[in-house]
Chains A and B, each alone.
Chain A
């Protein structure tokens, strides 16, 4: 089925460093979402992107919806220990009328060393 290529698979960084991760697809999505998941918890929505070219920030997080609608990136600035977790991108085609279907990337495992 449809897949998103998310990279990197894992990152080990020092506290205070900036982080960048991205997702690419062979087909177009009309919405890009970034979720963070802590161990044993459900994914929490960080940023939602709805327009091609859109650049959106949420505190230290910045995400962009690629102009081709086939990619998105997430940046985290000045990382802190609580940024540890798995980050998932998700794409949605849109236009459904009976519930939306998301396509997920494989996730980026982030480890922050104090």
Chain B
């Protein structure tokens, strides 16, 4: 099973709202990722967690706050977002990367619209 699940599928929020995106995988992967993707563009890496610890933050604004409560779950907490933050947010997971075969598998994404 190579399934990564994400909820919700769609989210509309105002600039003063607080919301969270959720991601789950049961492949035994110990690396999990958040990406942001604009229309017709490749995914842009935001955060990487390895063994439940934040290992990479690609200079993402603090209005995005990631959390990895356990090895299967990854959250992205959103607060005071801007309309330009509207995008498809993708979660991915993989083994931690020691092997050349450690490949990333993506979830279906959450389509976020900020009004």
Residues of chain A touching chain B, judged by Cβ–Cβ distance below 8 Å, are 30-31, 33, 35, 40-45, 48, 50, 86, 88, 92, 94-102, 104-107, 109
Contacts and interface: CB of A to CB of B under 8 A. Distances in A.
Interface of B: 2, 4, 6, 31-33, 40-43, 45, 48-51, 55-56, 88, 90, 92, 94, 96-98, 100-109, 111
Contacts of A99: 31-33, 48-50, 55-56, 94, 96-97
Contact residues of A: prevailing secondary structure: loop
Given A42-B109, A44-B106, A98 B100 contact: no
18 contacts: A31-B103, A42-B88, A43-B90, A45-B103, A48-B103, A86-B40, A97-B50, A98-B51, A99-B32, A99-B49, A99-B50, A99-B96, A99-B97, A100-B94, A100-B96, A101-B56, A106-B41, A107-B41
A25 to B, nearest CB: 14
Given A40-B109, A45-B103, A95-B97, A101 B45 contact: yes
Contacts, number: 87
Contact of B108 (A41, A86, A98): A41
B96 A98 contact: yes
A100 B88 contact: no
A23 to B, nearest CB: 11
5 pairs of A and B residues whose beta carbons are closest in the complex: A104-B42, A96-B97, A98-B50, A99-B31, A98-B55
